[in-house]
Copies of this chain bind each other. A is one copy, B any other.
Amino acid sequence: MSKPSIKEVRERFIAPPGEKFDLSSRDSGDRKLFPDKKHARKCLQEDAGVIDEHQDLLYATQKKAVLVVIQGMDTAGKSGTIRNVFAQTTPLGMTVKAFKAPTKEELAHDYLWRVHNAVPKKGFIGIFDRSHYEDVLVVKVRGFAPPEAVEQRYDQINQFEKHLSENGVRIVKFMLHLGYEEQGIRLKERITEPHKRWKFNPADLDDRKMWPDFMKAYEDMVERCSTEWAPWYVIPADSRTRRNAAIARILRGELEGLGLEWPDPGYKLEDFDFS
């Protein structure tokens, strides 16, 4: 079985910048590009290897940073994505920032302050497990900020990401698109499986009760913040394996697209004294 090309995967899952976006037209159980699970796992393994090679190159050249933003409802698979897509990447060249409810000090600043602080430096892949997009998701749905303030944020975020992108940070954003039914199954697993119990938070059910509001907020977020310089990819997330395979393919494409080459300082053995 041949792998779907990177182009195919990108085109199927991207939210095209500047276009209207309808989340209901996307199937969270979509298996078209990866019909076979075993094959998807093989694709992932290969791509994870290439991602690792390119991460080394990124580290060696110290010219660019890559920022991977991951958003999704509870149980959509943010941690699982990080674990699997970067399974072969050394932790030495990565940073992972999991954004939680802001602290008092963070709240005393504008909402992008803590985000800017966590942007990866050159040479690194930085992963955001949740991100500044919470400020137009949960904050919007629960009314933690006035609607006029939230309304301004889409443009502010686009400008912020443009600034980063003009300064050497390649940004790729993944919305893990999980179905309502699949979330129910996964939340129940968190109660019944001993190794998952610690992950269950009864408050997750409150978010689940507001599912349509969250979906609307996700839709707005994707439509208004998928840009040429920081596109949103909406990844079907009901199947963990296919989710990982799709993200790895896209990320591999992004890394290869940086066009980095191994630095050669031009040293020769005979220039040095090894006695």
Contact with B along A72-101 (1 / 0, CB 8 A): 000000010011001111111010101000
Q: Are B274 and A188 in contact (CB under 8 A)?
A: yes
The A interface, classified by DSSP as helix, strand, loop or mixed, is mixed
Oligomeric state, in copies: 2
Q: Are B56 and A200 in contact (CB under 8 A)?
A: no
Q: Are A187 and B91 in contact (CB under 8 A)?
A: no
Q: Are A184 and B274 in contact (CB under 8 A)?
A: yes
The stretch from A103-111, A244-252, A261-269 touching chain B is: A261-269
Residue of B nearest to A270 (CB): B191
Q: A83-B92, A91-B91, A205-B274 are in contact. List 13 more A-B contacts (CB 8 A).
A: A79-B90, A82-B91, A83-B91, A187-B274, A191-B267, A192-B269, A194-B264, A197-B263, A197-B264, A198-B262, A198-B263, A200-B265, A200-B267
Query: Which residue numbers of A lie inside 8 Å of B, CB to CB?
Result: 56, 60-61, 79, 82-83, 86-92, 94, 96, 98, 127, 129, 184, 187-188, 191-192, 194-195, 197-200, 202, 205, 208, 262-265, 267-269, 272-274
